[in-house]
Amino acid sequence: MAALFSLLPFFCFIQLSLVFFLEARNVGFTVDLIHRDSPQSPFHNPSQTRLDRINNAEHRSLISSQIQAPISANLGSYLMKISIGSPPVTVLGILDTGSDLTWTQCKPCAQCIDQDTPIFDHLKSGTYKPSACDSPACKALGPDYFCHRDACVYTMSYYDSSKSIGELASDSFTFGSTSGQELDEHIQGKFSYCLVHALTDPNVTSKMNFGSNAIVSGRGVNTTPLIVKENYYLTLERVSVGDKIIEYEAINAETGQEGNIIIDSGTTLTSLPPKIYGELESALKEAIGSQGQTAPDPEGVLSLCYKNGGSLKLPIIKFHFTNANVDLQPSSTFIDVPGDLLCLATIPSDGISTFGNLSQMNLLIGYDLVGKTVSFKAADCTK
């Protein structure tokens, strides 16, 4: 792929220790998530069919699954309106739990990526605070920073030799009302989201919750430990299809630690090691049996596809995380592709395994960064 940008002279890399504003009576809030193909999105292409959009999402997923894929708004699946600075300036942010980099383009920017909204002018924000080079936040970047006139400048390199370079800083993020109290201590590291199915009416939005609104409770909740490193990791112990159990190496082969799969809202497809994927594909073929006729994906992206005659019965795939068994319904594991086919939305990968957003559809997923857990609950995300 050609480089999306050769050099980004000035980005703001804004820390995640942010200030949230809401009406004072609340300690939790909910915001809409806009799918990038929704009519509410600046990336919406009205000439595309739903199958076109799913097909494009597959290709975006393959790009973003590269260990160091280039950053581009086109790679995001879900967008969220937020405001940065004081006075607040509205921007569209990509929801991506698989990335620890939060940035926005800032003036002056001679070689910026094209964007429809105005570029953020940090000089007009009364709450913008650059991080000093000797600050803990700067040192947390490890080798990915350098000092310039006591300012902390991060630098990130990507697989195609493109770079993102910018000033590390903190600023206020505003959701909803600009008047209210700071909620950073009240949110207590809790957020959740519920992603509607890809073929849902595009005017129906997914939801993201913070603070007390983000608590996942009641019957049917499964909770697993969250391993926080450079990404959000879970430990997948096995995968099953009916009585067929596929054992998964619980220890990360690269690090020797727990946490072997990234839970990633910014990647469309789920990826598994080739050996595990091969066993999963065999188990699905056995479960589906002669009722299904296989066919190649015309795009050559997905490996297991069936002709969709309308009567094909697909099995539930179960992911067994530590202490949490999560049922993945066929509507979340198989997707329609052009040619009247249903294809498994999982790919083999030699890189780090990823639990993508198609597999997360119609699940209420709650993160507790203080308690270091992730909770799952089956849900109708349109409600």
Pairing of strands 129-130, 163-170: antiparallel
Report whether 267 contacts 356 (CB < 8 A): yes
d(CA 86, CA 89): 8
Nearest alpha carbon to residue 363 among 205, 219, 193, 166: 193
Encoded tokens for 313: 């019965």
**Any idea which residue has 């964007």 for tokens?**
115
Nearest alpha carbon to residue 244 among 303, 285, 302: 285
DSSP for 8-39 reads -S-EEEE-S--B-EE-TT-SEEEEEEEETTST
Q: How far apart are the first and last CA of the chain?
A: 39
* Residue in 116, 201, 243, 264 annotated catalytic: 264
Instruction: Examine the residue annotation and report whether 96 is marked as an active-site residue of this protein.
Output: yes
Nearest alpha carbon to residue 346 among 259, 284, 254: 284
DSSP for 272-333 reads E-HHHHHHHHHHHHHHHGGG--B---TTS--S-EEE--S----PPEEEEETTEEEEE-HHHH
Helix (H, G, I), strand (E, B) or coil at 163: strand
* Residue in 32, 37, 52, 96 annotated catalytic: 96
Nearest alpha carbon to residue 136 among 160, 152, 157, 156: 152
Nearest alpha carbon to residue 132 among 145, 119, 118: 145
Instruction: Examine the residue annotation and report whether 264 is marked as an active-site residue of this protein.
Output: yes
Number of Cα atoms under 13 Å in the Cβ half of residue 100: 13
Active site residues: 96, 264
